[in-house]
Chain A
Amino acid sequence: MPTFHRFVQPTLVAGAVALALSSAAHATELTVYTAVESDDLQKYAERFNAAHPDITINWVRDSTGVITARLLAEKNNPQADVIWGLAATSLLVLEEEDMLARYAPEGVDNLDAKFVDPAYQDGEDPAWVGMDAWVAAICYNTIEGERHGVPMPASWEDLTQPEYAGHVIMPNPNSSGTGYLDVASWLQLWGEEQGWEYMDRLHNNIARYTHSGSAPCSLAATGEAVIGVSFAFRAARLKSQGAPIEVVFPEEGLGWDMEAAAIVEGTNKLDAAQTLMDWIVSREANELYNEGYAVVAYPGVAQPIENYPSDITDRMIDADFQWAAVNRERVLAEWQRRYDGKTEQ
């Protein structure tokens, strides 16, 4: 026994010291890149920290296009540990560049298979996991509409009518993920030729293209524009805040993209990154996403949200993310060539 004691005691002490040091003095800091709406970021970190107080999240937030471009630019010297809340189309581009570390989070099997990297079904660990779907919507200011004699639109096609000239604002797809899902969905709905032809006509009515996907709806909400092409989350939230807007879900169908998460290849904080990924697919996290988004990855979690139509899943188009990812660079270049003159700085 004495030998055993002599062995155990110092080990215990050392272990206790090490534990104390690692939890108290060295809370792990994760740099997390995100395009999640900034009104929700603090909430995301707080909910995660309630379960894991020992991991601190340092957010780097910008619009989808900016975060994507930044990740690509940092490819050889990555600064991010985890990506939490970026368009799946962007993550597919990053995966193509081998920038994501494959990992199967604990509980990933609970998610709807559509929300998990398809490679998982082929037996590989997923490179990314989905969180929720964000869906295109149009914000229509009823007061300004009446004042300018601009009727409420019902379809995407309506927006190209002459009475809308100069009253429509939409996001620039180069910087905004919402802008890109609009463009990608039109090209998928109507095919390339008709899609571009539609955008040519729409362009004549556009007052300007904004940096973010939220701004068009905010501008419609404050009466700076009559119509803002935006997304359902922002539209519903502004309407709840008392903005005089109607949220229009165009009848041809709604473009959408998935918000997703992944670990960045080369991170030296893999343990903490995996802990975060485990939480990201949890039921609790999905309940959190559901506070802003009607469609989430965890089946059976979603509750209806104020100002969202109940049949929103039926209205979403059959989006092909693979197509949107593969063609992203080409489509954006073509968009710039055609319309860049009207872009907000």
Chain B
Amino acid sequence: MTDSSLPKAFPKSLPRRGVNVAPEALIRLLVLLAGVALLVVGLLFPLFAMLVKSVQDRSGDFIGLANFIRYFQTPALVNSIANSLSVALMATVSVVSLAFLCAYGITRTCMPGKRLFRMLAILPILAPSLLPAISLVYLFGNQGFLRDVLAGHSIYGPIGIVMGMSFWIFPHALMLLTTALTNSDARLYEAAEALGTPKWRTFLTITLPGVRYGLISCLFVVFTLAITDFGVPKIIGGQFSVLATDVYRQVVGQQNFQMGAVVSVILLLPAVLSFIVDRWIQRRQVAQLSARAVPWQPTPSPLRDWTFALLCYAVAGIILLVIGTAVYASLIQFWPYNLSFTLQHYTFQGLGGGGWGAWFNSLKLAFSVALIGTLVIFFNAWLIEKSEGYRPLRQGLHFMAMLPMAVPGMVLGLAYIFFFNQAGNPLNWLYGTMAILVLNTLVHFYTVCHLTSVTALKQLDPEFEAVGASLKVPFWTTFSRVTLPVSLPAVLDISVYLFVNAMTTVSAVVFLYNSDTRLASVAVLHLDEAGYFASAAAMAVLIFLTSLVVKLLHAALTHVLLNNAQRWRQAG
């Protein structure tokens, strides 16, 4: 890159004498330390406090593993381990096989309506996981219009849990598998065809091995999401208890914080295990696709294309049915005996739970997390990727940025109580404020944003920083004038991801809200607990619509950006 091709972002009038090298290095060190401090305070300390709590009695004395022994001697609690494992396994198998077929349809066939399907398939992410559970009661409950499908089995229990989880986890699996199936080498398929290999054999020997890492990674991600999910079993679990709901019942229902900590530690194990496996796989996957690979393009084949199209449309139809049911439930006067339409359930008048105030709080939280989180996470990723020196510190920060993915929301929320509500903690004032909800949500969803940032930053030429440094422009100017603007699409992706998750999450924040900071997702839970099912559906729909609007704005904005400000992308 020559001087003349420098982006306009470096105005000629910039003070050439620059900033003294020493202070800049010092500032660099300080911001790095600030990033580390954020994750130490927001993640490591609380987790440590939780581990400590699990080996203490009520008065705070160390009692070794006594709590764990008591846990394993209480059948009602131990049963939850097997329950959790079984529903998580069932959900994993059904979600991954269905998502694989749909992803195959998208990437390896010429089925019509791919774009529409992909748009519809993403919808479940925009709703809290409580929404499908509420819908399933209306669909398959004792009054449900599809109850005969279950042939006398109750929707309250494992069947409902697996169905509800499958609904909201499906988009995650579909995205992972679509990515995995997109990377293909046409040369292998041509060779197979030339050798007269039967289709099924090609599938077993080329397609499956090609996506094996993506598939295994997807299996573990889905399993982790399923075993740590709280919303679905809470609403529709009936008498079937799982680990995540046990944490809630021990802590909120009985204020038995020690036992809550014990269940949390147990819930942490499968999540940590799948995290380790996933990391190991990610490392292997790098060398899989050679630079000479030619992307494979499907050729039309009506029978195959329409088979996959019908399957995908059926899935999209189910998604629309579930969301539509929640909308319908929220508009009905008194289901199932008075089916006239009304908007009264959207007034939330005098139902507790916070009503529209809770929705407004959720908006505040979502906007704060989106704004602060995006800047902090992207800036930290940039420090890790693009700066020099302090290598151990940068590696440490990167490692810590990967950890939140392995920490279930219930566990993180409870850990925050233990750490921030200690009388001696100087950060005690945060407890019960909106700020702690922002910090918690930011940390909870840190990893995916970090990975997105790193991917985007790796695509940028490292010479931007080199040139900036040689011109003696301070690093924060390079960051704000060059790196941030060119990475705008990724930055927008991160912010909308944070916004939607802050809107819909319930597992961590259910322990941390107080009377001023009630959230919409928590309100859904409380309305359902108190028996206001229609209003619970209304609040869930409200969250869904809010996320949908933001997602559409994001899509429009990205479209405009890519067409105008980011035209340089196509040039390269």
Residues of A participating in the B interface, judged by any CB pair closer than 8 Å? 31, 38-43, 58-63, 65-66, 69-70, 72-73, 77, 143-144, 174-175, 207-209, 211-212, 214-215, 217-219, 222-225, 234, 241-244, 336, 340-345
Contacts and interface: CB of A to CB of B under 8 A. Distances in A.
Given A60-B514, A242-B338, A214 B234 contact: no
Contact of A73 (B234, B257, B423, B533): B257
A345 B249 contact: yes
A223 B533 CA distance: 12
B334 A242 contact: yes
Given A212-B529, A345-B249, A224 B255 contact: no
A38 B353 contact: yes
A40, A58, A70, A343 interface centre (most CB from chain B within 10 Å): A343
A345 B337 contact: no
B78 to A, nearest CB: 12
B350 A222 contact: no
A72 B254 CA distance: 10
A72 B257 CA distance: 12
B76 interface: yes
Given A144-B142, A341-B76, A345-B245, 20 more contacts: A58-B515, A59-B352, A62-B526, A65-B253, A69-B253, A174-B253, A208-B238, A208-B239, A211-B253, A211-B529, A217-B531, A218-B532, A222-B143, A222-B334, A222-B335, A223-B337, A343-B239, A343-B241, A344-B237, A345-B237
A333 B284 CA distance: 52
A175 B239 contact: no
Interface string B383-406: 000000000000000000000000
B351 A345 contact: no
A39 B350 contact: yes
B257 A243 contact: no
B530 A66 contact: no
A72 B255 contact: yes
Range for the number of chain B residues in contact with chain A: 35 or more
19 contacts: A38-B350, A42-B350, A60-B514, A61-B352, A62-B252, A72-B255, A208-B238, A209-B239, A211-B529, A218-B530, A222-B335, A223-B142, A242-B337, A244-B337, A341-B79, A343-B241, A343-B249, A344-B237, A345-B248
B208 to A, nearest CB: 38
A299 B89 CA distance: 61
A223 B532 CA distance: 14
Nearest to B257: A73
B530 A241 contact: no
Contacts of A244: 337
B515 A219 contact: no
A81 to B, nearest CB: 12
A179 B255 CA distance: 18
A58 B334 contact: no
A345 B201 CA distance: 47
Contacts of B252: 62, 66
B42 interface: no
Contacts of A69: 253-255
B35 interface: no
A69 B245 CA distance: 17
Contacts of A224: 137, 141-143
Contacts of B350: 38-43
Contacts of A340: 76
Contact of B253 (A40, A41, A66): A66
Nearest to A244: B337
Contact of A212 (B234, B246, B334, B531): B531
Contacts of B241: 343, 345
Given A77-B423, A224-B137, A340-B76, A175 B237 contact: no
Lowest 6 A-B CB distances belong to which pairs?
A38-B352, A218-B531, A345-B245, A69-B255, A73-B255, A342-B239
B529 A215 contact: yes
Nearest to B515: A58
A40 B349 CA distance: 10
Given A59-B515, A218-B533, A143 B337 contact: yes
Contacts of A70: 255
Contact of A222 (B233, B249, B515, B533): B533
B156 interface: yes
B190 interface: no
A203 to B, nearest CB: 11
Interface in B317-369: 334-338, 349-353
A208 B156 contact: yes
Contacts of B246: 345
B461 interface: no
B193 interface: no
A175 B350 CA distance: 22
B148 interface: no
A288 to B, nearest CB: 13
A38, A72, A215 interface centre (most CB from chain B within 10 Å): A38
B531 A215 contact: yes
Contacts of A175: 253
Interface string B249-261: 1001111010000
B531 to A, nearest CB: 3
